[in-house]
Amino acid sequence: MTKILWGGATAASQYEGGYRRRGIDTQDCRPYLEKTSNATVATRLLTKKTVEQAVEENQIFYPFRKGSNGEDRTAEDLALLSELGLDVYRLSISWSRLFPNGDEEIPNEDGIKYYDAIFKELINKKIKIFLTINHYALPLHLVTEQGGWKNRKTIDHYLKLVTVIFSHWGELIDYYLPFNEINAGYFSPYNGTGLLKPENDAYAYNDIFLSLHHQFLASAKAIALGKKMKVKGQFGAMISCFCYYPLTPKPEDNLQLVLDEQINQWFCMDVLARGEYPYYMNKFFLEHDVDFEISEADRLLLKENTCDFVSFSYYSSSISSVEESQQQTAGNLVATTKNPYLKASEWGWQIDPIGLKTTLLKVYDRYQKPVMIAENGLGARDVKETDGIHDAYRIEYFKQHFQQILEAEQLGVNVLAYFAWGIIDIVSAGSCEMEKRYGVIFVEADNQGNGSYDRYKKDSFYWYQGFIAEQRKARRKSQKVE
C-alpha cells in the first residue's frame, strides 16, 4: 500500500507579498506580460538597464510585490491547508525578508518572527515541512552590486541564510531543498542565478555554468553544515523534468533525445546526486567556451555531500528532433515541438500523465534514491461563479496523474511525496500573472492587483481532501497489517 505523502506547494516570492517589509529581490523587478506565445520566455530576459530603471523609478511591478497577499493571511491559509488534510507543505524562505540586501551580518528580527510563527503552526497542525531555501528570488543588491551567483562570495552570503534557518528551525523542518529547479540556471539565467542579460547580446555560457558551479558548492556546503549541526531534516536536490520523446524513429532523433536529456535534464542532478561532473559535459564545455577552475577541494566537497533524495517538477513532456521547422508550443522553462497526440492547456503546456510515470521510472532508474514530485499541476483560467468555482478539468488532471504515480510506486519506485503546485493561487512564475491559476484554493485578485484577495475553496479542494483522506486511511490500515 502506498506510503506517499500528499502535499501542496507555494514559493515566497509568488505568495507572500509584503514587499515594503523586506528587501527588493530579483523577482520584484519582473513585469506582467499579456499572454502571448512567448510570454513565458520574454519575462526571463531582464537586462541590467531594465532592472536599474525599475528600481530608480520605484517601479516595482505588481505581480510579486503583492503575490497572494499571503503575509497578511497566514493564519487563514494554514487553517485551510490543515482542513485540506495535507501530509506535507512545501514553502520557501524569502532571502530578502531575513537579509534585505543579502549581505548583512545580522538577520531581520521581524523576518525571524514571521517564519517562526508559520513553522510552529505547521507543527501544531501536524503538517510536515518541506523548505526550499532558495526559490529563484535573490536579493537584488547581490546582483547589481556583486554579480549574483557569478561571484563566489554569494556562497558565503547563502550560508549565512542557511545557518539562520538551521539555528532557529533545525528541529522542526523535515525536508530541505537548497535550490529550486537548479537546471533553470541554464534555461533561465536571471531567475536561476541572478544573471542580467547583456544589452543586445546573449548570456555568456561561462557565466552561466560558473554560477551553477557556485550553486552546486553552496548546496554541498549546506548539506555539510546540516550534518555538523545535526539538523533533523533530509536534504534533496531538484530539477525540472521534460520527459523527452523522439519526433520520429530516425536514429538521429533518438540520439538527439539522449543529448537533450543529458544537458537539459540530467547534468545538474548528476552532480548533486552522484557528486561529480558527468563525462558528457567535457565536450559541451569545450564547444561553448566554458572554462573555469574546479579545485580538488571543490570536487571532494561535492563527492562527500550528495543529496538524500531527488525531486523534480513535471508539467508536460517534450519532443526531441534534429528537425527545427516543426510547430512549437510553450512549456515550463522551455518551448518544444507540438505533440499531436496530446491536449494542451490554454497556455500551450501539453498534458501528459503517462509522461509523469515515465519520468518517475527514469529518475529512479538513474539515481536509485527516494523520489519526490516537488511540483505538478494545471494552470487554468478559473472562474468564480455564484455557486462556487467548478474546476472539473483540474480534478480530472489530478486523477490521471495520481493514477500514474500510484502505478509507478507499484512498479517499485520509492515515491516519497507529491506536491500540487500553487496549492493556493499564486502569481505564475512563467508569465507573471495571477489569472493563470493552479490552486485548489481561489484567491480573488487579477493581473493588475485588483481584488479582495479573499479565499474560496474550489471543487478540486473537496476532491483532493477526499483523496488524501482515503490514502491516509489506507496507509494506517497497511501499517497495522505490517
Active-site positions read 181, 375
Nine-digit cell string for 283: 565536450
Biggest CA-to-CA distance, the chain? 65
Task: Tell me the chain's radius of gyration from C-alpha atoms.
Answer: 21
Number of other residues whose CB lies within 10 A of the CB of residue 232: 15
Cα 195 to Cα 291: distance, rounded to the nearest angstrom: 18
C-alpha cell at 215: 550553486
Nearest to 316 by CA among 245, 369, 391: 245
Determine phi and psi for 439, rounding to 5 degrees: -75, 165
d(CA 95, CA 83): 29
